[in-house]
Amino acid sequence: MLLVVDIGNTNITFGLYDDEKLISSYRLTTWFKRTSDEYGFMITHFLQAAGVKADDIDDVIIASVVPKIMHSFNNSIRRYLDKEPLIVGPGMKTGIKIKYDNPKEVGADRIVDAVGAHYKYGGDILVIDFGTATTFEYIDEDAVYHGGCIIPGVEISAHSLSENTAKLPEIEIKPTDKILASNTILAMQTGIFWGYIGSVEYIINKFKAEVGDLKVIATGGLGRQVSEHTDLIDIYDPNLTFTGLMMIYKRNKALA
């Protein structure tokens, strides 16, 4: 079995594959001060909950945008699973050609999403990953990654609004029924959510004006809610990153 791991700024997500079938997933909060033992206990408990033993894991592949935790995390894989993890980065075969001023600047999460989307959906694709930051990535039908744009995630925007104002509170991010709000919390929820939807739709339309018709694929934490409130997103795929990691692993294993 293959353990795939996506380490983001807000969450670490685990996926467990039996060949190309995702059989279980798990999410925990990213925290810089965890030890390798803490990570090891969490990983082994996840495997136990899935009915899998540590000895059943053949390999581990990781995509990370958080360098600070990699020493502890990698050591947990070595100690508790007795595996040397594969780390997505420069030199790894992905099947995607990176057309970028400096390909080394492209985050592992963006590459993995591009691989997953091209493998599953083909054609000209715009991938939107609603994470801590929201990333927009264009991949053409020939598997060329052309880049895209990055905006603050909606939770960053909401936190910044409350953090930098004296009287505005932290709020739950959720859609509202109308734009005309009659209290402060509702006004913030309305403005943040629908303003965010508006910015996403505007960027999608700008991409289409620049490169032509696209299939738009969304993934990431808020992706489901956003997809339900716009007609411009064609597919919401919560496991897109897992798919990309699995395909990168299979490609590199075959070339080994």
Contact status, residue 99 vs residue 147, Cβ threshold 8 Å: yes
On the 0-12 / 13-18 / 19+ scale of CB atoms within 10 A, 188 is: buried
Cα–Cα distance measured from residue 122 to residue 34, given in angstroms and rounded to the nearest whole number: 39
**Structure token digits, residue 177:** 């029924």
Q: How far apart are CA 156 and CA 143, in angstroms?
A: 31
The residue annotated as part of the active site, out of 37, 56, 82, 109, is: 109
E-assigned strand segments in 118-193 = 125-130, 133-139, 144-152
Rounded CA gap, 232 and 215, in Å?
9
- In three-state secondary structure terms, 33 is coil
**Rounded Cα distance, 60 and 43, in Å:** 12
177 labelled catalytic: no
User: Which residues are known catalytic residues?
Assistant: 109
